[in-house]
Amino acid sequence: MMNRLIELDFHKDMGELFKFLKSNKTRTYRNGNYFKVVYLKPPDRLIEPIQNRQLMVKPTKFLDVGSGWQVVRDLPIAQAPKNLEEVIEDLELEELRAKRQANPLCHVQLLYWMKVGLYTYEDTSCFVRLFYRHGYSAEDCIEVFSSLVRRDELLPFFLKELTKIY
């Protein structure tokens, strides 16, 4: 089951950014200088968690308010308004840019194969060894190989290498 709620916790100093929420009433809580509003997450929309001193955006499956929060508006949980989605998207992009690193997501050679595919016996052998060295199962290796191979005649060689190594 995917996350179906958005918990938005913010400090009262950020109230100006979220003033539009006053006209989009939903269940709301207060804990000192912080507010928590809960909305239904739009379907098919990825919401990334965000957390800093004055703001927390938390996608969640179930509402777990915790202690210290007092109900301010005991209303049914409403659908997230479009302008909230836009603000969250801006905050997500800001957070993403701040956390961007120059670390590769995957092995450089694997990225190359993802772009151009597997064409040679040498590439095939290197591919099997790379997957084995990084702890992937033979099944994982087969699945990825089948999506990357560009020459059917590499299949017998791939199976031979797979059997030899795994």
pLDDT digits (tens, 9 = 90+) for 53-77: 899 999 999 898 989 999 999 999 9
Residue 128's pLDDT is what?
94
- Nearby residues of 47 by Cβ (< 8 Å), 6 or more positions away: 3, 6, 41, 57, 59, 88, 92
DSSP letters for the chain = ----EEEEEEEGGGTTTTGGGGGS---EEEETTEEEEEEEPPTT-----EE-SSEEEEEESS----TT-EEEE--PPEEPPHHHHHHHHHHHHHHHHHH-----SS-HHHHHHHHH-B-SHHHHHHHHHHHHHTT--HHHHHHHHHHHB--GGGHHHHHHHHHHH-
This prediction has a pTM of: 0.68
CB 158 within 8 A of CB 149: yes
Quick one: pLDDT at residue 2?
62
pLDDT score, position 99: 82
Q: How far apart are CA 59 and CA 20, in angstroms?
A: 20
Other CB atoms within 10 Å distance of the CB of residue 95: 16
Q: Which amino acid is at 123?
A: D
The tokens for 24 are 């989009």
Residues 145, 141: Cα–Cα separation, whole Å: 6
Q: Tell me which residues of the chain have a pLDDT lower than 70.
A: 1-3, 104-105
* pLDDT value of residue 34: 96
Q: Residue 107's pLDDT is what?
A: 84
What pLDDT is recorded for position 49?
92
Euclidean distance between CA atoms 8 and 51, whole angstroms: 10
